[in-house]
Amino acid sequence: MDYDPMAMDDPESLGPVVKVSESGKVRVKFELSNAELAFANSLRRVMLAEIPTIAIDLVEIEENSTVLADEFIAHRLGLIPLNASGAENLLYSRDCDCDEYCENCSVRLTLHAKCTGDEIMSVCARDLVPSSERINQTLGSPIITDEAGMGSLILKLRPGQSIKLQCIAKKGIAKEHAKWAPSAAIGFEYDPHNKLHHIDLWYEQDPKAEWPPSEYADWEEPPQEGEPFDYDAVANRFYFNVETSGSMPPQEIITEGIKVLQTKLAGLIHELSDEGDGDYNGPRSPEFGGGGVDGGWQDQGYTTPYGNNAGGSWSGPGGGTTPYGQTPYGGSGGWQ
């Protein structure tokens, strides 16, 4: 990644600064600084609720002699994390040309188990078999992270009981149902010493003694004894802890979250900039959805359809030299 050495002179002009303190298979911890609280919070909200993943959405039960009700099992199946790599190439079922679902907008998984032994048998996520007709061979595979390689427990069978069902996994976002959330949890904190008084700590005698210090307490200066309250202070450093549910690597949750938020903003720019063809209107009910609306937005890196913002520096709203200067929307001054 090349950057402009001139822009390095003034850290304020650089925009948000990121520091990654931990990066693993399950979680990424990073600090976002030089950004507004609103910016950090929007990123958090988008990572929680609006990144498309894949989850079981339809279950056709052929045979169920377990003690559990069909809908109970269906609910459990929905919550199983499935591999979402390549989900950007999967269509939303509502946008697809097919009648109900097809391999372009869904992944079929089958579960067929019977307890033939004498002991109670566990049916786990690994027993879900994805069909080979899918857009790539990882999309929709159940996530297995435990050492035994079983995956999450779906149900248990007593001797003689059996279960046979077909699942249709579809693409969706967590705003519709939490099963599509890519993140198991997102830790978000700022101001570890509570200098801004955004929280009012409950205490018996002394909040300092009774509340354990934050993991990030050492990263920021503790308040001085008798220091007056700073009325102008704003939150500036935000500590994220993004934990994946398994469906995508935690690093990807962050980059995808940024992309989704950019896409939303780009849609607004597009809508407001050219009155003529308001063809992009965001996701829409299937009556309107042109099949491949999605594909166009998912491009390499952080280029949006509104131009290439690979340049290192950005300028304030008054500057007019945003990376969008060259776009057809750049010079739109003429609404009435």
Partner 1 sequence: MASVNPQHNNAPECVWIILFETFLLGDGEKKITETVVTSMSNCSDFLLKKEDHTLGNLLSEYLKKADKVLFAAYKVAHPNVAEVLLRVQTDGTITPREAFISTCKLLVSQLGHTGREFQKELALRQFADQGDQGGAGDGL
Which parts of 305-324 interact with partner 1 (CB under 8 A)? 306, 309, 312, 314, 316-318, 320, 322-324
In the complex, least distance from residue 132 CB atom to partner 1, rounded to whole angstroms: 26
| Contact between 296 and partner 1 per CB under 8 A | no
In the complex, least distance from residue 129 CB atom to partner 1, rounded to whole angstroms: 27
Number of residues forming the site for partner 1 (CB under 8 A)? 78
102's tokens = 């097809």
Query: Left, alpha or beta for 194 (phi > 0: left; psi -120 to 50: alpha)?
Result: left
In the complex, least distance from residue 148 CB atom to partner 1, rounded to whole angstroms: 17
In the complex, least distance from residue 134 CB atom to partner 1, rounded to whole angstroms: 21
| Contact between 144 and partner 1 per CB under 8 A | no
Where do the H-state alpha helices sit in 6-87? 37-49, 70-78
- Output phi, psi for 22, to 5 deg: -155, 140
| Contact between 190 and partner 1 per CB under 8 A | no
Contact between residue 125 and residue 79 where contact means Cβ atoms under 8 Å apart: no
| Contact between 131 and partner 1 per CB under 8 A | no
x/- letters, 241..280, toward partner 1 (CB under 8 A): ----------x--xx--xx-xx-xxxxxx-xxx----x-x
C-alpha separations of 168 from 58, 131, 162, 176 in Å: 5, 10, 20, 17
Among 6, 18, 178, 233, binds partner 1 (CB under 8 A): 18
Question: Can you name the residues that pair with 22 across neighbouring β-strands?
Answer: 29
Among 6, 20, 69, 185, binds partner 1 (CB under 8 A): 20
Residues 65-104 that bind partner 1 (CB under 8 A): 94, 99-100
Tokens 């391999």 label which residue?
A: 103
136's tokens = 């790539």
x/- letters, 207..226, toward partner 1 (CB under 8 A): --------------------
Considering all CA atoms of the chain, what is the largest pairwise distance in Å, rounded to the nearest integer? 80
Among 159, 207, 286, 292, binds partner 1 (CB under 8 A): 286
Contact between residue 247 and residue 81 where contact means Cβ atoms under 8 Å apart: yes
The DSSP bridge pattern shows strands 129-130 and 106-114 to be antiparallel
